[in-house]
Amino acid sequence: MSDAKRRYGEVRDRADLLRRVVRAVFSRAEADRNADTALGGTARKEASMLVRDWMTPNPITVSPDTPVPEAIRLMQEKGFRRLPVVNRDRLVGIVTDRDLKEAMPSKATTLSIWEINYLIAKMPISEVMATPVITVEADKPLEDAALLMEERKIGGLPVLEGGKLVGIITITDVLKAFVEVMGLKEGGLRLTVDVPDRPGALETLARAIKPSNVVSVATVGRQGERRRLVLRVNGEGLADLEARLRAAGEEVIEVRATDAVSGV
């Protein structure tokens, strides 16, 4: 296997892993918001979950007439994997590093190196770009962008506002948001608890957790009439938190201390 194919396979596998994480986290966003309400609104709310707050604003673009070698140079210099294609302030396409690789002549070609370089130098982006473009609006919830990327098996979306390109959002941006919203870099305790899947169950859990502070709460699964929650907790009362939960009749699966720097 060539180095290029191996690197492409690694990138593809990483993208598939990121998409699975996205689906696991954001497909349950509504359930998690309901859980937060039941916990008295103590989970973190300061991080906005709109696309505009996590996108890269004012992305570098190319025109339909931009030569392919110029787009390749931009991607290599800036470390980008995709470039929006804009014509007269209107988004008309998008080109990725994969599109550019596929545009290269096969090794089996009978063309000479001179002929290959000549053809590539004259090839405009309009011949290799993807169109129409899958986009997302700047004011959409971040989970909408995440699920759209997962469903379409793509790694990034141009962001529009009023029909104009204002940014680009990628799966990596979504994971950064996940790390922030879930408080993964904060110290404290990581609790895994099974609770009854019925009204009032989370209120009982919230009373047992106080006076500790719930940094984040996520629903990670459901079995029969029980739901599994993962909570990150810091503040006061951590030393005897597990004992308080068990005394309240909660089914504690795991309690783990988390590091304030790495979050693990």
Q: What stretch of H or E contains 56?
A: strand 56-57
In the chain, CATH 3.30.70.260 sits at: 1-42+182-264
In this prediction, residue 71 has a pLDDT band, given cuts at 50, 70 and 90, of very high
CATH entry, 47-170, from 3.40.50.720, 3.20.20.60, 3.10.580.10, 1.10.287.3510: 3.10.580.10
pLDDT single digits (tens) 218-244: 888 788 888 898 888 888 888 888 999
Q: Which amino acid is at 195?
A: V
Distances in whole angstroms, Cα of residue 256 to Cα of each of 22, 62, 264: 24, 49, 9
In the chain, CATH 3.10.580.10 sits at: 47-170
The alpha carbon torsion through 89, 92, 97, 98 (nearest 10 deg) reads: 170
**231 by DSSP, 3-state: which?**
strand
Q: Closest by alpha carbon to 241, among 193, 187, 185, 189?
A: 189
Please state the pTM of the whole predicted model: 0.70
**216 by DSSP, 3-state: which?**
strand
**30 by DSSP, 3-state: which?**
helix
Please tell me the least confidently modeled range out of 92-96, 178-182, 247-251. Answer: 178-182
The CATH superfamily label for domain 1-42+182-264 reads ACT domain (3.30.70.260)
Q: Using an 8 Å Cβ cutoff, are 86 and 63 in contact?
A: yes
Mean pLDDT, rounded, for 139-158: 94
Q: What was the pLDDT predicted at 29?
A: 45
pLDDT, averaged across the chain: 80
Residue 10, pLDDT above cutoff 50: no
Q: What was the pLDDT predicted at 197?
A: 87
Q: Using an 8 Å Cβ cutoff, are 47 and 177 in contact?
A: yes
Tokens encoding 232: 């990150």
Mean pLDDT, rounded, for 28-53: 57
Q: What was the pLDDT predicted at 220?
A: 81
Residue 5, pLDDT above cutoff 90: no
